[in-house]
């Protein structure tokens, strides 16, 4: 079944980036010259998904503004004959149809997704987490939609991570059933150090059946009072198969200070305007081979 809708949770406080995120939502922090959430939106659009449901919280109105038309700015650029910038600005507002829903309390990722229930309706849908930026020739969610065509149930993006980092992720235990595809047998959200069932981590891209909503409604909050998507997935796995897909691409954790800087450097080095100058600059920092 074709995936036509994507849910992007963007309601978090961005505490890891304070004070930068006191007023500016973390989703609008730029990687070079584009807000992180625009990379996610471009991924969705280039995979052919037509509608995005943005889950927002307080003080997040500027995210919607970013994807809206800005008549004043457009008139200004027209007057200044900056057709190049005008095109960039106009493309953003035409990218996808955006619907936003408020998550009224910060009750976790599972709860954020539940907020999209009415708008998603009865078809399988995609979920993309804004902290995970994936640089890939074929957009990660597009790769997953291709794989999902021949399956039912749910599909999660996965990636091997170093053993000492497994406590930062949802971790699966699975059996390889095809090239890059694992059948998921077990899932644990952020296992204690040394207790992970493997080093296959869930990365923030999912294709989920609408049945997950009924399940998330019944999931009990964890110790921190949050409803975890991974707990919902574990219950879903008792009813339908869940698969993990090892995507092709480079992933950056833009929700982490180091990952954010790495993404900036990596995208900066590829940027047509500053790439070669940035490379020269970096070489001056490490002059000796």
Residues in contact with ligand G1P by CB under 6 A are 109, 129, 131-132, 169-170, 189, 201-204, 229-230
Phi then psi for residue 138, to 5 deg, are -100, 125
Q: Closer to ligand G1P by CB, 43 or 132: give it.
A: 132
Minimum Å gap between C-beta 243 and ligand G1P is 15
Q: Report how far residue 235's alpha carbon sits from residue 212's, in angstroms, rounded to the nearest whole number.
A: 9
- Cβ contacts of 44 within 8 Å, gap of 6 or more: 6, 8, 52, 96, 126, 128, 139, 141
- Which residue's Cβ lies closest to ligand G1P? 170
Rg (CA), the chain: 20
Q: Closer to ligand G1P by CB, 43 or 77: give it.
A: 43
Torsion of CA 89, 95, 101, 106, to 10 degrees: -70
Q: Closer to ligand G1P by CB, 13 or 70: give it.
A: 13
Minimum Å gap between C-beta 279 and ligand G1P is 29
Q: Closer to ligand G1P by CB, 142 or 204: give it.
A: 204
Minimum Å gap between C-beta 192 and ligand G1P is 15
Minimum Å gap between C-beta 185 and ligand G1P is 16
Q: Closer to ligand G1P by CB, 77 or 161: give it.
A: 161
Q: Report how far residue 168's alpha carbon sits from residue 12's, in angstroms, rounded to the nearest whole number.
A: 17
């Amino acid at each position: 079944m074709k995936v036509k809708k994507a849910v992007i949770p963007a309601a978090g406080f961005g505490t890891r980036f304070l004070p930068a995120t006191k007023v500016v939502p973390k989703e609008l922090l730029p990687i070079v010259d584009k807000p992180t959430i625009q990379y996610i939106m471009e991924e969705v659009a280039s995979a052919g998904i037509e509608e995005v449901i943005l889950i927002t919280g307080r003080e997040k109105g500027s995210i919607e503004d970013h994807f809206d038309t800005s008549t004043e700015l457009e008139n200004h650029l027209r007057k200044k004959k900056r057709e190049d910038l005008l095109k960039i600005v106009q493309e953003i507002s035409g990218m996808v149809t955006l619907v936003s829903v408020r998550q009224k309390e910060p009750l976790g990722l599972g709860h954020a997704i539940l907020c999209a229930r009415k708008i998603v309706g009865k078809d399988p849908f995609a979920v993309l987490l804004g902290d995970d930026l994936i640089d890939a020739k074929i957009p990660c969610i597009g790769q997953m939609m291709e794989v999902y065509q021949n399956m039912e149930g749910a599909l999660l993006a996965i990636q091997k991570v170093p053993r000492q980092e497994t406590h930062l992720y949802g971790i699966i235990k699975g059996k390889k059933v095809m090239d890059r595809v694992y059948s998921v047998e077990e899932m644990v959200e952020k296992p204690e150090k040394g207790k992970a069932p493997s080093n296959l981590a869930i990365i923030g891209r999912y294709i989920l059946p609408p049945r997950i909503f009924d399940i998330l409604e019944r999931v009990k909050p964890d110790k921190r009072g949050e409803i975890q998507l991974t707990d919902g997935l574990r219950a879903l796995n008792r009813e339908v198969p869940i698969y993990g897909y090892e995507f092709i691409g480079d992933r950056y954790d833009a929700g982490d200070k180091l990952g954010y800087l790495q993404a900036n450097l990596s995208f900066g080095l590829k940027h047509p305007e500053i790439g070669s100058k940035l490379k020269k600059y970096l070489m001056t920092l490490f002059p000796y081979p």
